[in-house]
Structure 1
Amino acid sequence: MRIPLSMIVLAGAVAVAGCSDKGLRDLRAPGTGPDEFMIMPVKPLTQPPDYKVLPAPTPGGGNLTDIHPDQEAIAALGGRPEAMVASGGIPASDGALVTAASRNGVEPNIRDTLARQDAEFRRRQGRMTRIKLFPVDRYSQAYRKQALDPFPVTEAFRRRGYETPTSPPATQ
């Protein structure tokens, strides 16, 4: 009996597809180019209202076009960004939040602990086959029971009278 060439090619493709294992989510850069997450965009350049009255240069200091995401987020949420600068990084109003969050102690190697617990949790979720014909999101498979459907949760909060300003408006 002669096996058709197409069957051999298909079997080879399935075997090769089963050899790749990128883990849950491979976030490494695919090439040697720049890491786009490390690039901070700047504000657009603007012309000063009067060229005779310019700010003094600040060697080693900041520019008017530099962005300060923490301060801008505080301002956007109605806070005082100058309080963050005066306190050296943590706004005075956040001191209570930091104290409350660390009231039961702070584990110094929390990232390693969570990585170990996450790997154990995924291992317990079942033995998923390594042979795959199509790309599969193993992360979503492992955590599907813990995922929230945002629409029923939003509706439940709205029924209880909570505001949900960042959610899409309710459909009538």
Structure 2
Amino acid sequence: MAKSAVILAGIAVVSLAACSGAGKSSKGPDEFAVVPTKPLTMPDDLSALPEPRPGTLSRVDQEPNKDAVIALGGNGAALDSNLVRSSEQALLRNAQRYGVDPSIRSTLAAEDLKQRKDNPPRVLERLVGQKSTIRAYTKFELNAELELLRLRRLGVRTPTAPPAE
């Protein structure tokens, strides 16, 4: 009798645990998507209002993201896309020292397309519609251990290697 009671209790616990996710239709609100808004104001002349344009900024709340950053104690000016911080100036100068190719994106896109055409996905990947670039770029993978050995043979000082797994 005690054994059957334990088994029944176990079945009840497992059954209730299996139902824990039932009835949940969504994950709930995203707390980080909520931004503070300024209060609505009534314009002096309603006929002077522009036509509504969905997706555009509110006339009252011109920079809601910047206001949210400021409300959290951050620097709202850091969101300006044209702003290049002093900490990034040296990095940009170093990266641009040999010039900048204005068509780099189209060049990379063309090279990527050629690489993927030369190394198409396997039959099973094509059948299920999976677009995998793993096979196309396998020969470009870096092996940290081999690179560490190569650098040490050249006499380059290297930090300690991570432990083998």
Do Structure 1 and Structure 2 share a fold, with TM-score over 0.5?
no
From the CA coordinates, give the structure whose radius of gyration is larger: 2
Structure with more of its chain in helix, by fraction: 2
Normalised-by-shorter TM-score class: 0.3 to 0.5
